[in-house]
Structures are given as C-alpha cells and as structure tokens.
Amino acid sequence: MTRLCQTEGLTEDQSEILKAVRVFVDEQIIPVAQELEHSDTYPQEIIDGLKELGVFGLTIPEEFGGLGESLLTYALVVEEIARGWMSVSGVINTHFIVAYLLMQHGTDEQKQKYLPRMATGEVRGAFSMSEPGLGSDVSAVSTKATKQDDGSYSITGQKMWLTNGATSTLVALLVKTDEGAESVYKNMTTFLVEKEAGFGETAQGVTVPGKIDKMGYKGVETTELILEGHQISADQILGGEPGKGFFQMMDGVEVGRVNVAARACGLAWRGFELGVAYAQQRKTFGKVIADHQAVLFRIAEMATKVEVAHNMMVRAARLKDTGQRMDVEAGMAKMVASEYANEVVEDSFRIHGGYGYSKEYEIERLMREVKFMLIGEGTSDIQKMIIGRSLLKEYKLK
C-alpha cells in the first residue's frame, strides 16, 4: 500500500534511515507484535535490533558516538516504529528525553560520562516527574533532596509512571530542594540517579517494586520508583546547579510532546492501513464494503486526519530544530495527533465490525493502545490551557 504522509525536504541520510527503519518494522515488529503484546513480553530481540540500527544514539552527536540527527528525524523514526507497535516506541522515548536533557543542560563531564554509552544502548534512560498524588501539576512534587554536611544529598520520596522503570540504568529525577528562589518553580532540581536494571532494590535506597498492570501499552514496563535516603553526590545534579530542574524538565517535556504526537501519528497510520485493507476484503450486499458510501467517506476522513496530524507534528519538530520556542506548536501537535489518532483507530474499529472486538485482529490492540496517547505528556485539556494562555499573551488587547 502507498505510504501516507510523505515528508518533503529530507536529506539522503534521513531518507535512508527511515527506509531502514520501515523495513525493520515490517519484517521484525509487525509479525510478532500481537503475540508479544498479548503475553506482555518485553521485546528484547526487537530492542537489540534497534541498537544495531543506531536508534538509541539517533540524536546524540557524532563526537559521543551517535548519529547526530535532528528531532525531526527522530520523530519520523518514532512514527514508523509506533506504526508497528506503539510499545516499542515507548522503550526509546524516555531514553531519548534523558539524552536530550544531557545534551542541552548537562555539564561537559556528564556528557562525557553518559552520552557515549547511551548512544550504544549500554546505558538506558528513564524520565521521572510524576508521583502518586500528581500528574500535570509539577509544582506539587514532594520527593525531596536534602543537602548533607559533606555537600552530598539524601533523596526520599515516591515516583510514579516510569516508562522503562526496570530496564533503565539512569533516571532523570525531578525533586524539591531547600535551595533556589522562593518560587516553587525555582526550588526544583533534576538529579541523574544511577541504578541497576531489574526489580527490587536496584541501588542503595532505590527500589523498583514491580510492573504496573495496564489496559494497553504492554511489553514495555511501567513502574513506581521508591527512594529512601538515597545518597547522591552534587556532581549528579543535571547541569551542576540546583534550582534549575523545573525549566530543564519542561524543555524535555516539550520534545516529549513531539514524540507522543509522532507515536499517535504512527498509530493513526496503522489504523488507517488496517481499515482500508479490511474494507476492500469484507463483502456485504454483494459488494465490498469500501464501495458503500458511508464506509468510503469514513476512509476519506481517516486519511485526511492522518495527514493533518503528521504535518502538524513535522512542523513542531522543525521549529524545535531551529532553536525556536515551540510550546504552542508542540501542544497543538500533541493534542491534534492524539485526538485524531483516537478517532481514526475507532473508525477503523467500526469498519471491522464484530471482528474488531476479537483479540485475533490487530485493531483490537490499537483500540487499547491509542487511549494512552490521550493522556501521555499531558491531556488535551492541559494542551488547551498551554495554547490558550500563550495566545492570550500574544494577542493581548492594548
């Protein structure tokens, strides 16, 4: 089937990377995704293949052993992978955000210490802001780092919803400190917490209790993280200076929203593929259902939504690559892509009829997976608040 969402203006390297990933998705991910998802099995062979393709170091500069590609390239790769199985794109998402934070805010020593091993996938990153009592309200963070007499810190608290919580070995952790300005947003600090992969006590005072059982997003583990007097040196403060954590994390969330938009685009694209294929196979009243006007119109609307979401995602990624602020564009892309993905997948589900409710059909999995896109990296309501407040500042009456 002809691919939707052709992106113009790509370099030869970008096109070759996307071609290689697309082949990998078609040959190595789609054929096994159903079985692995239903058994909630971690896709180790797939992850090993992505390491060989260089995906873990896609955006890391060449001087650190990466490919030095742009956010746009990464987003397009994520879209391809999510088309095959959204959970796999989740495995690399938080790793990418931690690498981005190090590249943008890390000290030279931190970059040298972690980026070369992150590029190969030897060090795997996780990103942690949420807690049991908070999601989008980052100001309510209660996990606290207390400075000790020797200059080190002791961290105590409970974190929630860590993607790659068990397989990660480096966690970018947002905590409250006693340092910084009076504003709550200026007394947060990001620490780089090292731990072993696995469950249980993975470092002194750091415990990963177990997997959280989820409706979808299977295969990749989502966990809590409990810290009880974890001792950490000041050298592990991202950027070396306390009080910068909120702004660092918001920078990471901004690119994370482009990432979630890309994942939603991949899900929408796959939903369209499945729907349009089934509509040309299933017959009712003596003809394939694609020949019925109601289904034909549905297919047209699905394809249009896939294209619109893709183009908004690409625009946000391109803006970020130029160094421009793009919180509005990222919010718009995330909101539109997630909502349209939900609509496209549901339309495909409707086209499948009763068979769409069967676990034998891929669309059933997509119906469960796409719901996560509506809440990941901030709900649509949160995006509307960000977008609306920014627009009021720009168009403020004088």
Q: What is the DSSP string of 322-375?
A: TT---HHHHHHHHHHHHHHHHHHHHHHHHHHGGGGGSTTSHHHHHHHHHHHHTT
Tokens of 167: 């397989």
> What Cα–Cα distance (Å) separates residue 271 from each residue in 26, 74, 82, 83, 231?
15, 21, 11, 8, 47
Side-chain-side CA neighbours of 208 within 13 Å: the count stands at: 28
Distance in angstroms (rounded) separating the CA atoms of residues 262 and 264: 5
Say which amino acid occupies 364: E
Nearest 5 degrees, angle CA 205-CA 222-CA 51?
A: 95
Out of 37, 79, 273, 377, which one is annotated catalytic?
377
Collapse the DSSP code of 203 into the 3-class scheme (helix H, G, I; strand E, B; otherwise coil) and give the result.
Answer: strand
Q: What is the residue whose two structure tokens read 């260089």?
A: 54
Q: Which helix (H) or strand (E) holds 170?
A: strand 170-177
Tokens of 169: 């070995």
Asked if residue 162 lies in contact with residue 224, where contact means CB atoms within 8 angstroms, the answer is yes
Distance in angstroms (rounded) separating the CA atoms of residues 365 and 292: 26
Active site residue 79: no
Tokens of 235: 């050298």
> What Cα–Cα distance (Å) separates residue 123 from each residue in 182, 306, 328?
35, 34, 32
Distance in angstroms (rounded) separating the CA atoms of residues 194 and 28: 31
Q: What is the residue whose two structure tokens read 């096994």?
A: 32
Asked if residue 208 lies in contact with residue 199, where contact means CB atoms within 8 angstroms, the answer is yes
Taking alpha carbons only, the member of 221, 231, 306 closest to residue 261 is: 306
**Residues known to be catalytic:** 377
